[in-house]
Amino acid sequence: MDRSLIEISKSLLQSSLGVKPGELLVVVADDYKKELAEHVHQAGLELGADASLVVMKHREKSGQEPPAPVAAAMREADVAVCLTQHSLTHTGARKEAAASGTRVATMPTITEDMFREGAISADYAKVRELTERVTARLTAGSRVKIEKEHTALTFSIAGRAGVPSTGVYLNPGESGNLPSGEGYIAPVEGSASGTLLVDGSIAGLGKVTSPLTLTVENGRLVGADGEQGEALLAVLGDGDGRLLGEFGIGTNDKARITGVVLEDEKVYGTIHVAFGSNNTFGGTVAAGVHIDLMVLSPRVYIDDELILENGRLLV
């Protein structure tokens, strides 16, 4: 094993999850991320945790549930760290684990490069403070408008609570991504209308090869014009996977656009929307798929107040 990766993992487990000697730590991996997960497992052992490594067959898409024994292990642990190719963030397994008191960090599409550079290296006290401000503004808001070049998308967030993904999960039931840095919310189903130019990246498809124009009617994606449009629609399917499920704002100034959604959606001054499941964070959509799409330097209004312009947050 790489000693430096073990030391980085030890630091993460302590600073972000507060892992203590004797705690039950379960490290969940799939066959793609097993090698990285072994370093995190070893780090847990060296910190004195009662650590287990659980390896499952990789899921076919983000939002797909893990096998029942994996979900049970997550529920029973004090701390769960999930290193997988496809995201477990918006699954019932993650939600149920948090509800049972487990501190959960999900790391979909995590890479060795991300361990050593980029978003992991952020000042998480600073990220947490900004993320909480952004989240409070989302919670207090009723309507969002996103403008990007010739496109504009509007939707309601009235009555919905924003969710902070701060990268610091020290209390029972706290959960989110690592690396982290975003505030996000579930838009009101059926309320979205308009178009949106996506020019950053798409979860599972990588960096955008040329700008993609989305068309949304009554909360549903009805068109995706661009080179990667057909591939996006194929992954989302013809059912509830096409419903707008998330709006998020990146708050990590060390994050980079790499084509890997885990880091891309955290980039300071960007926003992302996702289609598919949101029932794990305040919505009603349970689609078995959740695909994020990143937008660089848009203008964003909440209740007609400009809160993001030219890559700078105004909250």
The domain segmentation of the chain, as residue ranges, is: 3-116, 121-313
Mean pLDDT score across all residues of the chain: 95
In this prediction, what percent of the chain has a pLDDT beyond 90? 84
Q: How far is CA 44 from CA 4, 52, 84, in A?
A: 14, 9, 18
pLDDT at 90 over 90: no
**Per-residue model confidence (pLDDT) at position 144:** 98
Work out the angle between the directed axes of helices 34-46 and 3-17 (0-180°, nearest 10).
70
As a whole number of Å, the end-to-end CA separation of the chain is: 43
**Residue 61 scores a pLDDT above 90:** no
**Tally of helices (H runs) and strands (E runs) in the chain:** 8, 20
Burial class (CB in 10 A: 0-12, 13-18, 19+), 96: middle
Other C-beta atoms within 10 Å of 269: how many? 17
Q: Name which of 51, 97, 50, 107 is nearest 71 in CA terms.
A: 97
Q: Would you place residue 262 in the very low, low, confident or very high pLDDT band (cuts 50, 70, 90)?
A: confident
Tell me phi and psi for residue 206, to 5 degrees. 85, -165
Q: Does the domain spanning 3-116 belong to CATH 3.40.1830.10?
A: yes
Predicted TM-score (pTM) of this structure: 0.81
CA distances from 35 to 29, 150, 207 (A): 9, 44, 25
The total number of residues written for the chain in this structure: 315
